[in-house]
Amino acid sequence: MNDPLYRLLGAYHERLFDYERGLDFPGEIHLFRHPGIPADVLFACVKTAFASSTGGTHCDELRPLNPHGWASFDEAMEKVAHKALAMRQKNLIHGLPYGGSKGVIVGRGPIAAGKNRLRVFLEIWPHAINFFNGKLYTGADVGVGEPEALLARGRTPWVFGLPKNFGGSGDPSENTAYGLVGVIDAYRDLFHLFHAGGKLTVAIKGVGKVGKEVLRLLHERGDRIFFADVLPDAIEKIQREFSGVTPCVPHAIHKLPRGVDVFVPCDKDVAVTSETVDEFACKAIIGAANDQCRDPALEERLHERGILHMTDFLVNGGGVITITSELGSSGYDEAAVKAKIDESVIEQSRAVMQESLETGLAPYKICARLVQEEAERTGNVLS
């Protein structure tokens, strides 16, 4: 370990070669544990020609401590590997000079509050980050926000997502939602210019930080909104704050009858699976969730059915554009970040939709080509 304090405290570190081989992962996966803290920290880093990698850290407890948390350690392992690969694609398609990485924190005991949570973000997480000695930057994601980033920053310089009053970019959720709704508006322009006065019917799954902001922006536009969440409190809060929105059952919202224009996945589930691919009744899927579909054959099936699925790592790039802006020499500049999101997320998505219309290619194929072109330009082709 690079951090003497980490060694002194008797912490455990292992590179997980067996998981790397089993998942056919083109990079490294590392496990960190700390005596007395009921949590594991995992980092997956895809091999890269860039000097460093970046991706957020997702923190959750194992079930049944959290009924909606990690189903198992293996599920968390699979997620960290898939999402690191998705971060590689996201960084490349948005022209960001970083490789792809991802972190997860797996609570084997209660870490949602109290002393254990403090120790996770003051001890094991920053010390794990320090192991990479500047080759990895990480920060906010599900279960990790500005307070946690600020705690860790006292122990490591390689954390982003600090509050704005501490010189950071703040919570990236608003800019992620800004970019995503901009893409939905581009879809509105291209496909629904004269449809229902320009209003859409949307179904939003997951109303956490990003999903709620997406809902708010679409509600302002006068769109008809269905929504779902696994947390009853979140449903009640949305109904109190927004008039005319309709709650739905989470496992069935994607099956709403025809008339829904856009399905907007903003939760942590894999949206498109062999079980759901033929159940969608919407015209388009444009969501902030990562890792929405893992099988090109399912992407093709959606395309055959006439459903436009906009690739997640293109449309949800507002967050990583925001947080990596902290790493530049001039620091976070809100106007520059919004301009980059307008260009790289919204207008690039519009161009992908236009090309899909003109050529008949599914968006995922167009995005794969764009990623490959940038990988070749920067020397980051995976062998």
What pLDDT digit, counting tens, does each position of 189-247 carry? 998 655 556 789 999 999 999 999 999 999 999 999 999 999 999 999 999 999 999 99
Q: Compare 192 and 324 and report the one with higher pLDDT.
A: 324
Q: How far is 122 from 196, CA to CA, in rounded Å?
A: 52
Q: Compare 65 and 356 and report the one with higher pLDDT.
A: 356
Enclosing H/E stretch for 268: none
The beta strands (E) that lie in 79-200 are given as 99-107, 136-137
Enclosing H/E stretch for 283: none
Q: Please name each of the domains of the chain with its CATH number.
A: 4-91+99-159 (3.40.50.10860), 173-378 (3.40.50.720)
Q: Which two tokens stand for residue 25?
A: 């992962």
Taking only the tens place, the pLDDT of each residue in 69-126 is: 899 999 999 999 999 999 999 999 999 999 999 999 999 999 988 999 999 999 999 9
Q: Which two tokens stand for residue 379?
A: 């020397």
Mean of per-residue pLDDT scores for the chain: 93
How sure is the predictor about 253, in pLDDT bands with cuts at 50, 70 and 90? Answer: very high
Q: Comparing C-alpha atoms, which of 125, 89, 83, 131 is closest to residue 107?
A: 125
How sure is the predictor about 332, in pLDDT bands with cuts at 50, 70 and 90? Answer: confident
CA-angle at 157, arms to 154 and 161, nearest 5°: 85
User: 103 with 56: CB under 8 angstroms?
Assistant: yes
Q: pTM of the prediction? A: 0.93
For range 59-65, the mean pLDDT: 90
Lowest mean pLDDT among 7-16, 21-30, 189-198, 213-222: 189-198
The answer for 195, left when phi > 0, alpha when psi is -120 to 50, beta otherwise, is beta
